Structure 1
């Protein structure tokens, strides 16, 4: 009689469990837009969800601790003139989030640690460069302020959010609609899928496809995805890939190894209601004291429900084998360094003592002064009287006026922020 050999793995018994009812976020009008993004983004401070909104596009940002019923008048982040299609938190600043919209723009927002008393309507910066709707966003994993966007124009643009400039535009790589884009761990390469059924590996700085049309899959897994697209989430610390079907009611998870057959089915978390979208918490936001190795935020029609993945352990001690050092909030490179060809692995942190998010850090946008840009060389056209150049005195006067107006606007913004803080303190004091 032959004995079946059971593969040894510390993740064989990972189990999923929905959080208790009082830990869910209720009465949220989740967006009904038919788009294939996750509609949800989460970090150790905030939960963001794309919601239904009249007269444009909006999303809601909730402090993680603000569970229970959400007030119908809770402030939204509004500014887009058409539905929001994707949102993504900056990995190097937990208060900064980017949103992409059907209105062809990307907006980057600063979210305060306190709850604002009115809608947030002014982004830090608006990025304009796509000619059709923008449906995919992804921050660079190691370089500061580098953001990727992909649009219905089949173009991928990589931006320096700190200056508002386009770093790279990849406009001849895809003949059809781009379905998904993902960075590798150090941000040197991109993987994309396209409607032409081709998977491409792209070196964005060289503007070259370095691999596509792979001959044979490493593993083939049949999935019941009749209801919608798959949302994959990969955890490199545990080498586990989670597959969530949009419109499905389950999360299937697999362990990836270096030896054949490479992909090992672990288990399936199933629930009664289908998911409209899914958020995935970065490892630094998990509760290491409970051996939590993943946490999802499942969107229903009117609520968001946390789902916790745990490795059963009896010991209360920190489990080194479950929690290797993981990417922290500090970038390894500046945008210009990455653009020049440098690569760096993520800056890692230990979770031994848990993770405490840093206090509010402001993203400062420094747009290049167009007056510093030299005019293009080449033949000059003949000038008419109406083309007469501005005198040095007139130019200096205009610059002084602009400077004074800018200082006046900044002073008003500081006054508004101070008044909001005072109002929040008064509200908190009456609770």
Structure 2
């Protein structure tokens, strides 16, 4: 289960130690408060792959369990809370791993590979449960592009989004239990191709705007959000669009899952995230400026200089500004020291 204050970035912008032969996944913790300085050091570096890591995915129910897949055709499961390697799944893939996905409880995972095999794997038994299905239940021809497809499935709406790496479109389909199983919905197209794609968890969407999906499209030098919405005019919470969905709290500890225990994800309601339209309207109150009468007193020309505003008073003002600047700098240093101490307590190092 992904911690709400952590994100992943690699390769690192700056390494605290000599650079690795291949960039390793790193954990960067984003604090709940607004940081006063740039965050340059990761809290955990996961070293174990011999080639570049291209896939990472959090376990759906166990705390801090992460799976990574690299160009070495290797699957590694980590406990990022301790930085230790839990399991290594080797000799299962003879070629490059294209994608990895967990089932709902995290008891099994499925992989697609360049060797055109689909494998269902029990990671704790370290064995392939099923492989190379005979015939697909549905076949959908996309286009002639040879780019790798990045699938994102939303179980709440039964919609699968297909993003082609190097492509500039997102195609989405509804999945049903009856034939023909796959129903084409629409295509989102843009001018620039995507180098990668991220998917916002359901609990991060704006339910007031009937937002059902949000992607983060990776360009060469920027990350662009792409929002999918359902056009509805009702001001009520849309129960059919937002059933209870997996929340941020894990159902298991890493050790419990590794010992063989399974659990359903802990669900949360998105109703509290709904803000009725009438409460979100911008209200502007205009005052009649004629109601503010000017104070009575002698008039004077705007060009008349105040005799009291002389050079000594200006020097006093500048001196006060210098003193305030020194005070602010001292407080910034104190805040930075407190932040460092807080990070140590949070990481369990103090």
Output the TM-score relative to the length of structure 1. Answer: 0.60
Residue 244 of structure 2 contacts residue 269 of structure 2 at CA under 8 Å; is this kept in 1? yes
Alignment partners' CA distance in 2, 1:160 and 1:115: 27
* Bigger Rg, structure 1 or 2: 2
Instruction: Specify which of 79, 82, 90 is matched with residue 15 of structure 2.
Output: 79
| Whole-angstrom CA distance in 2 between matches of 1:193 and 1:82 | 34
Tell me: higher relative CO, structure 1 or 2? Use CA pairs within 8 A at least 6 residues apart: 1
CA contact (8 A) 2:207 2:274 kept: no
* Structure having the larger proportion of residues in strand: 1
* Mapped contact 2:4–2:248 kept (Cα < 8 A): no
Distance, in Å, in 1 between the alignment partners of 2:192 and 2:18 is: 29
Structure 1 residue matching 2:272: 3-state secondary structure: coil
> 2:178 maps to what in 1?
259
Once the two structures are TM-superposed, the CA of residue 254 in structure 1 deviates from its matched residue by 0.2
Matching residue of 1:161: 80
CA shift at 1:132, angstroms?
2.8
| Residues 1:275 and 2:194 aligned together | yes
1:396-415 superposed Cα distances (whole Å, 9 cap, x missing partner): xxxxxxxxxxxxxxxxxx97
Query: Any residues of structure 2 matched to 1:387-402 within 5 Å, and which?
Result: none
The answer to whether structure 1 residue 111 and structure 2 residue 30 are counterparts is: yes
Equivalent residue for 1:229, pick from 148, 152, 157: 148
Match of 2:338 in 1: 418
Which residue does 1:322 correspond to in 2?
241
TM-aligned CA distance change 1:283 to 1:276, over 3 Å: same
Q: CA deviation at 1:417?
A: 4.3
Q: What aligned pairs does 1:183-262 form with structure 2 within 5 A after superposition?
A: 183-224=102-143, 226=145, 228-262=147-181
User: Does 185-194 or 327-336 show the bigger shift?
Assistant: 185-194
1:349 aligns with 2:268: yes
> How far does the alpha carbon of each residue in 1:38-58 deviate from its partner, in whole angstroms, 9 at most, with x for none?
xxxx998899777xxxxxx34
1:258-305, Cα deviation, whole Å (9 max, x unpaired): 001110001111222222222211100111111111111223334333
SS in 2 for 1:158: strand
Contact 1:107 1:124 in 2 (8 A): yes
Offset of 1:213 from its aligned partner?
A: 0.6
> Following the alignment from structure 2 to structure 1, what is the Cα–Cα distance between the partners of residues 254 and 118?
27
Structure 2 distance, partners of 1:47, 1:146, is: 14
Structure 1 unmatched ranges of 5 or more: 1-41, 51-56, 59-76, 84-100, 357-413, 422-431
Q: 1:118 & 1:257 partners in 2: Cα distance?
A: 49
Question: How many pairs were matched up?
Answer: 283
**CA distance in 2 between partners of 1:328 and 1:226 (Å):** 36
| TM-score normalised by length of structure 2 | 0.72
Instruction: Summarize the Cα distance change of 1:232–1:82 in structure 2 as closer, same or farther, 3 Å threshold.
Output: farther
**CA positional deviation for 1:225:** 5.0
Using the alignment, how far apart are the partners of 1:153 and 1:308 within structure 2?
A: 34
Give the C-alpha shift of residue 116 in structure 1. Answer: 4.1
**Which residue among 254, 261, 278 is the counterpart of 1:335?**
254
Runs (5+) with no aligned partner, structure 2: 276-333, 342-350
